[in-house]
Amino acid sequence: MKPPCRRRGALLALLVAAWLPATAGARGPGVLWTVEGRTNTVYLLGSVHLLRDDDGGHLPGAAEAAYADAEKVVMEIDLDDPSVADPAALLAEMQRSAMLPAGQTLRDVLGADYGNIAKQVSDAGLDVSMLDPFAPWFVATLLMQIELAERGFRPELGVEHRIAERAAADHKPITGLETPAEQFDVLARLPLPEQKRFLQMTIEESADVDSELERMLDAWRAGDTAALAELLSAGYDEFPELYGPLTEDRNRAWVEAIGGLLDDADDYLVVVGALHLVGRNSVVDLLRSRGFEVTLQ
């Protein structure tokens, strides 16, 4: 069998729209679906988890209308929770999830590749010796955050952050589909050899990420669900052990909660990463398989 064609830079670009916790502003139509219950509407808004100043600071028109109509907001995590809003507390939670078992070190896990990876990590401005107690997924995530920050991506510009601020002012309740600990556990459950591969791919692709990020952002702004689904498919082909837990497994858990919102007295705006709403076993796909009518706006 011919191996899948590798798209350098795809890993970071895809994670921006599927896992990294925090999102950003929008221009253009964006990605929005509606699910009609007998007595209410649930809106599904796809976001990109980090954007830049020049990506715009306003929701697309359809998303603005959905926010105005919804009495309640649901996000991947509850940004109204003080423990989530505190960056130091969130980092501490992440570090707890990333600790290697007693007696194990990052050097042990990386083996013969430690020297080369350590150099790349040091070049990124991180103190390798301080990272020795942590699993490879944690180091990969830190490197991704550095790459994004260098490109001007800022979480405080995010759709969820903006919506959370508005919801607080408008007294609209916010709830989360999962907790930060559950999000971090997705990567913590990966076997250590797969975590090592994740770290290696993050380093290898960092120099080529810009074009893939722009491709993903262009598809999102244009509401091009086919292009987004193609990006997700490329991620599955490249690293199914990572993208299954990051997307499909979480989608299945979320669909239970989203289905339970229908036929309520209130309308809901549900905001999740855009790649959770496209492709195989997406939230949209799974809702339709259960008989719900889901319409792209």
At 239 the pLDDT is: 86
CA-based nearest residue to 161, from 265, 10, 17, 23: 23
148 and 15 in contact (C-beta within 8 Å)? no
CA-based nearest residue to 66, from 96, 33, 90: 33
Could you read off the pLDDT of 96-142 as tens digits, one per residue?
999 999 999 999 999 999 999 999 899 889 999 999 999 999 999 99
DSSP 145: H
Percent of residues, the chain, with pLDDT higher than 70: 84
d(CA 271, CA 268): 10
Could you read off the pLDDT of 48-80 as tens digits, one per residue?
766 667 765 567 778 889 999 999 999 999 988
The pairing of strands 294-296 and 31-36 is antiparallel
Q: Kindly report the backbone phi and psi dihedral angles of residue 294, in degrees, each rounded to the nearest multiple of 5, phi listed first.
A: -115, 125
d(CA 108, CA 105): 5
The pairing of strands 174-176 and 72-75 is parallel
At 119 the pLDDT is: 92
Overall average pLDDT of the 255-280 stretch: 94
**Pick the residue with more confidence: 137 or 156?**
137
DSSP 173: -
The one-letter amino acid at 220: W
At 18 the pLDDT is: 64
Confidence of residue 211 (pLDDT cuts 50, 70, 90): confident
Kindly report the pTM of this predicted structure: 0.87
CA distance readout (Å), 203 to 12, 15, 186, 256, 286: 10, 14, 20, 36, 34
Return the SS3 of 96.
Answer: helix
Overall average pLDDT of the 42-50 stretch: 86
Q: List the domain boundaries for the chain.
A: 10-296
Q: Kindly report the backbone phi and psi dihedral angles of residue 154, in degrees, each rounded to the nearest multiple of 5, phi listed first.
A: -130, 125
Return the SS3 of 34.
Answer: strand
Distance from CA of residue 90 to its chain's centroid? 15
d(CA 196, CA 202): 10
